[in-house]
Structure 1
Amino acid sequence: AAQELRDYEPHLAPGLAGAAFYPQDAQVQPMLVVAHLLRLARAHGAEVRTRTGVTGFLRDGSRVTGVRTTAGDLPAGAVLNATGTWAGDVAALAGVHVPVLPRRGFVLVTQPMPPRTIRHKVYAAEYVGDVASSDAALQTSPVVEGTGSGTILIGASRERVGFDRTFSPRAAGALAAKAIALFPMLRDVRAMRTYLGFRPYCPDHLPVIGPDPRAPGLWHACGHEGAGIGLSAGTGRLVAQALTGRTPDLDLKPFAPDRFPAPDRSSGTGFPGAGSAATEEGRR
């Protein structure tokens, strides 16, 4: 209720109608999670090869039997395409269409503030609509959260501009204005820096999970957009179950890799293939 809002967030703007509180909401630091997963993988016998680019696939007829890399060929009983924003480019090397595209987003980082200045991760209702939108143009909705070091993170923006890493004053200005509308005290807080990333966007907003019948032996786990870190453990479990012949906990049909129509190449449009400029970086 409106009268309870300031008990949760004392600095929220007055006049807000109400909010929903998610007491079980949790967050992780992605880099620490990846480091831990790498430790677990190595402990279970996995070999991790960094700075090794995938250049193609080994084939036996239509079946994928491994990958070609800059460090040599790697035969495999199954190959999993889990390359995030570049998953579409990697799929194209196998001759299959998986329309994963980059969706750029910026985050502002403020100067350090006293602890618990912002107590929760707070976002406006339009954030949900922006996530579900297929619009390629810039969209911004306020997402504001504090960190353990005292800095405040301000998002979120979405736009499909390929892998363009150019700073966008328009996006940063919109983020700042909407964050100030939600927390007026931020008007007097200095932004120290910005950073950006690319979410792996799928046109129907569902991830791509499971075997690819167009290239037997090739599996996919990609296209989660901004939810990948949260859905990674569940996706890994589903893939492991399916790969080992068990019945997955969740039906994989809605996430089938071949659910998308083939691109119209006659018009010169459609999905960019393996020759796009950022491909090599993404395959490492």
Structure 2
Amino acid sequence: MELILYQIDAFTDTIFGGNPACVVPLNKWLPDEIMLKIAKENAVAETAFFVDKGEKIHLRWFTPEIEMDLCGHATLATAHCLTTILDYQKGEIVFKTLSGDLFVKVENGQYKMNFPSRMPVVDILPPTISKSLNIKPKEILKSRDYVLVYENETEVRNIEIDRQLFDQINIDPGGVIVTAVGDKCDFVSRVFTPQASILEDPVTGSAHCSLIPFWSKRLNKKELYAKQVSERLGKLYCEDKGDRVIISGQAKTYSIGKFWTE
């Protein structure tokens, strides 16, 4: 079977920035084990597979290790693929996913994703995570992911992970977000995933399902500008809408290719 693969950099306006995702259109679902093997072969943080069923586009995301319940950057990449390459004509894209229906609109070159809000609550940090961090957080919260709040952007940028300890943690399917008020934006973050082939995710849309409500309340602002300060850097335009959040960003197509599977 011949399939098309699009690699797209999400949450950036330049090639080699943001977070790379692969997008694979399908006529029908492949076996899960095949999609997982494809994701592993692609060797990026997430590969999105979709089947267009008319009113809704059914969308699934796979890391090289597992299927995810929610992924922002690969959703943005899929929306970019549909609208700029595949000539998708509807004004709003509705994705049917494991996290319910997700809605994406394209406005002024921005992909505006309507995602569920996941306000984190105060929690206790497992000792293994604490010992794996070179700088201790001042606040600890959790939703799907742990959210660790730091004093300032410098601390977030200087976080180092002892991977040998960190990989002993099981937060399936979540990770650890480190965050602080930004120097030249409302807030910054980095995201680390234990037991993953890619330790630090360059830009993590789904993490902002928790970061947006947290910082919206903390800063008393409904609209926020965020940066994920990984090496590749991601820019996110955010809005708190109560039980939903708007996560917006740009994307650039890196490559288009073909591959074959049995």
TM-score (norm 1): 0.24
- Report the structure number with the largest CA radius of gyration: 1
